[in-house]
Amino acid sequence: MKLTKFFAFAFAALAFVGCDEKTPDQKEPLPTPTGDIKLAADKTAVEIGETVTFTVTDAENQDVTSQALIYDENFNEVGSQVTFNESGSYSFFATVGSANSNYVSVVVMADVPVVPADPQPENFIFNHRGLVIDQTGVNCGYCPGATDQLKTLENTEWHKYYNEVTCHAGSYAGGDPGNSAAANALNQFQSSMISGYPCILVNFYGKPNSYGYNDIIKVLQNYVKKDGADVGISLAVTGDEGCVYAAAQLKAAHSKEYRVTAWLLESGIYSPNQAGATKDYHKIYDYALRNISGSYSKANISGESIGTVADGETYDCAFELPIISTKWAYENMDVLVIVSAKDSNGRWELVNSALCHIGESKSYEYVK
C-alpha cells in the first residue's frame, strides 16, 4: 500500500509530501521490466529531508542516466534526484527508448531502523525458514483442531525451520477480527489449493495431505534446505500506532534474481466467537496477516523484483506498512520479510523468511 502526493521542486529534484491511502486494486498497472536497463538508488531507506540519487545502467553496465527518463509510480517524471519531505513509501522506474527498468522502492521515515552488524561477514550458510500458512476463519468449527496441530508442530525440531502466518479470509471469515485486505489477497492467491477449511499450506505452493503436523513436516522436508538457504536476511523494525517501518539487508549465497516483500503480522487478537473453540488459546489469534508492503494483489503476493544479487553481495531495502485500522494493536506487530526466486516451474517461490517484532532487530541466522 503506497501513500503519495507530489509537488514540483526546482529543476532535477522533487520534494514528496502527503499521504493518500489506496487499495491494491486502485493502482494503475506499471510497465513490465524488459531487462535491458537497471535502475539503482544510492539509498532505499532515508530520513525526512534526505535526497536520493538514481543511476540507470544498460546491459553492459554503462551509465545511461543522462538518456533515461525516471518516473514515480504515478507516472510523474522526477529526474535523477529526489528529495523527500514526508514519510511514506515510494516506487520508481526508468525508461530508455522502449526499454523499461526494474522497480526501486524508497521508504522515508522519521528515524531509519538500524540493521544489526553482520557477526560473521564471511559466512554464507544461512538457516532456511519456510512459511506455514494457516488458512482459517472464525466460523470454521474444525479450525481449532488445526491450531492444536500447529501447537504440536512448534514443539518439534522443525520449529526452527519455518515462520507461521494465519490468514483469516475466505468463506468462513465473515465477521472475523483477524481479517484484512491483505489476508483476502493471500487467500485468493492460494485458492486453487484450498478445498476446505482448515487448510494448512507451506510456502506459496506446498500443500500437505492434511492439516496434521506430520503431514506438514513431510512438505517442509521437501522445501527446507538444511545445508543452507539461498539468501540470508537481517532486519530491524520500528513504528507507532500509525505505521510500522522495517529496514532489511539481504546477503546472497547464490546468484539469482530475487523478489522481496514484507508482511505485517498481529498477535494477541481476541476472538470470543471462534466456532469450535474448546481451549482459551483457540480464541487468541497470533501472526494474523494485516498488511503487505508495496503493490500486491490476488495474483502477486511475493513483492517486486530487486534484480540479480550476485553470490557474496548484499542488498539493502526498506518497507512501510501502514496500520490502517484503529482496532489493530501496533505493540503486538511483527514484520515478516520474505525473499523468493523462481522455482523449476518458473513460479516465484519462497527461498527464505525472517521475523522481527516491532522495536527490535534480528541479525542473520546462520546454520549452527
Distance of CA 198 to the CA centre of its chain: 24
Burial class (CB in 10 A: 0-12, 13-18, 19+), 2: buried
Looking at the fold, whether 60 and 124 belong to one and the same domain comes out as no
* One domain, residues 79 and 121: no
The enclosing domain of 18 has a CATH number of 2.60.40.1080
> Which among 264, 315, 267, 266 has a CA at the least distance from the CA of 294?
264
* 279 and 342 fall within a common domain: yes
358: nearest Cα among 241, 242, 244: 244
Structural domain span for residue 18: 5-109
CA gap 73, 85 in Å, rounded: 17
**Amino acid 28: pLDDT:** 62
| Same-domain pairing of 213 and 89 | no
Residue 33 is predicted with a pLDDT of 85
Residues 47, 76: one domain?
Answer: yes
| 87 contact partners, CB below 8 Å, separation of at least 6 | 19, 48, 108, 109, 110, 243, 320
Is the domain of 32 the same as that of 69?
A: yes
CATH label of the domain that carries residue 262: 2.60.40.10
Q: 185 and 214, same structural domain?
A: yes
What pLDDT, on the 0 to 100 scale, is given for residue 144? 98
- The helix/strand/coil state of 182 is helix
Task: Dump the DSSP string for 113-142.
Answer: PPPPPPS-TT---B---EEEEEEE-TT-TT
> Are residues 95 and 148 part of one domain?
no
| Residues 269 and 199 placed together within one structural domain of the fold | yes
Gap between the Cα atoms of 261 and 328, Å rounded: 21
Please report where in the chains the cell 530487486 appears, as a residue: 306
Return the C-alpha torsion angle 81, 84, 85, 89, nearest 10.
160
Asked if 97 and 119 sit in the same domain, the reply is no
Q: Which of 84, 109, 134 delimits the end of a domain? A: 109
Total domain count, the chain: 2
What is the mean pLDDT of each successive set of 10 residues along the chain, which is 368 residues long? 28 34 53 88 90 95 95 94 91 94 88 93 98 98 98 98 98 98 98 97 98 98 97 96 94 96 98 98 98 92 89 93 96 98 97 98 97
Cα separation of 209 and 212, whole Å?
Answer: 8
Among the three residues 89, 109, 129, which one is the final residue of a domain in this structure? 109
Model's pTM, two decimal places? Answer: 0.85
Question: Domain end: 91, 109, 127, which one?
Answer: 109
| Whether residue 124 is found in the same domain as residue 103 | no
The number of beta carbons lying within 10 Å of the beta carbon of residue 282 is 17
Question: 252 and 104 in one domain?
Answer: no
